[in-house]
Amino acid sequence: MRLISCTAGALLSLALLLSGCSDEQVTTYRVPKEERPDLTATVPAATPASTSPGQPGMSGPAMTEMPGLAAQTSGFQAPQWSAPADWQAQPLGSMRKGSWTVSTGSGSAEISVLAFPGNVGGDLANINRWANQVGLGAMSPAQLDSERAAHTFTIASGEQGFYVHLDGPSGQSIAGAIITHGGASWFYKMMGDTATVQAQTPAFLEFVRSSRFPAQ
């Protein structure tokens, strides 16, 4: 697993991907098989999951949308940002605040931005859902703390977040960032073929850093 380094407390378990960030120096992280507990044991059972039609990159195992969640999240105003010119904008659907695809000679990837109220089950559960989506085992709380400390970043409007990069064993990868703003957790995620995700990671990080939330 490759890392650089983000109520519904009970609303969602989510599959949910820098000035002060050290992400320019990408590090590689891989969890040994024997250190990968069953993900289902790490995600709070009472935390509902969510996704929407048209959100294939965010959907994970056993995810269902909470009634009224789309309406609840519709009130979160998306920040301004600068998306790379080679990303192809996609329909937003009912939940997405941003959606793009990008293709390279070696594959493709999907970029999404979603916002959910509260901490949606906590950062560890959300990062581990991402890990599960690319076939990796769960990160421990200590590992997450270490990655957060190493890969915290500040976006254009001043909010802080953290970043992770997960390379799965089957050729799929996720680059993702979590930012907290206005009582919501904002999930920036790029998922796709490993070669594409790795090639697009610098652009993804610049995109995340460029985010400027409206003043509250």
User: What percent of the chain is modeled with pLDDT above 70?
Assistant: 69
35 in a structural domain: no
The tens digit of pLDDT for each residue in 158-169 reads 999 999 999 999
Radius of gyration of the chain (CA): 16
Residue 67 binned pLDDT confidence (cut-offs 50, 70, 90):
low
Answer whether residue 205 is part of any domain.
yes
Least Cα distance to 181 among 115, 103, 129 occurs for 115
pLDDT at 64: 52
Q: The tokens of 43 are what?
A: 């995600």
The tokens of 181 are what?
């703003």
**Range of lowest pLDDT (31-40, 58-67, 108-117, 167-176):** 31-40
Number of domains in the chain: 1
- For residue 126 the two structure tokens come to 């959300």
Question: Does some domain include residue 69?
Answer: no
Angstrom distances, CA of residue 18 to CA of 5, 161, 183, 211:
8, 8, 20, 10
Q: What DSSP assignment string belongs to 156-201?
A: TTS-EEEEEEEE-TTSEEEEEEEEEETTEEEEEEEEEEHHHHHHHH
Residue 53's pLDDT is: 28
Per-residue pLDDT reduced to its tens digit, 6-52: 444 434 444 444 333 344 444 444 443 333 333 232 233 233 333 33
Q: Which residues contact 17 (CB under 8 A, 6 or more apart)?
A: 130, 163, 164, 165, 166, 174, 175, 176, 177, 187, 188, 189, 190, 191, 204
What pLDDT was estimated at residue 155?
Answer: 97
Q: What pLDDT, on the 0 to 100 scale, is given for residue 2?
A: 52
68 against 114, higher pLDDT: 114
Average pLDDT, rounded, for the chain: 76
Tokens 């920040």 locate to: 79
**Inside any domain, residue 191:** yes
pLDDT of residue 22: 41
Alpha-carbon gap, residue 139 to 36, rounded angstroms: 7
Top-ranked range on mean pLDDT: pick from 57-61, 116-120, 149-153, 191-195: 191-195
Residue 154 domain-assigned (yes or no) = yes
Residue 55: pLDDT over 70: no
What is the pLDDT, as a whole number, of residue 18?
Answer: 38
**Average pLDDT, integer, range 111-131:** 93
pLDDT at res. 66: 62
Q: Is the pLDDT of residue 60 over 90?
A: no
What mean pLDDT do residues 142-156 have? 93
Query: Which residues have a Cβ under 8 Å from the Cβ of 109 and sit 6 or more positions away?
Result: 101, 102, 190, 191, 192, 193, 196, 197, 200
Residue 60: inside a domain: no
Q: Is residue 116 part of a domain?
A: yes
Q: Does any domain span residue 4? A: no
* Closest-CA residue to 204 (of 30, 14, 119, 192): 192
Find the domain containing 193 and state its range: 110-215
Does the pLDDT value for residue 89 go beyond 70?
yes
pLDDT value of position 25: 44
Distance (Å) of CA 132 to CA 6, 83, 160: 17, 27, 25
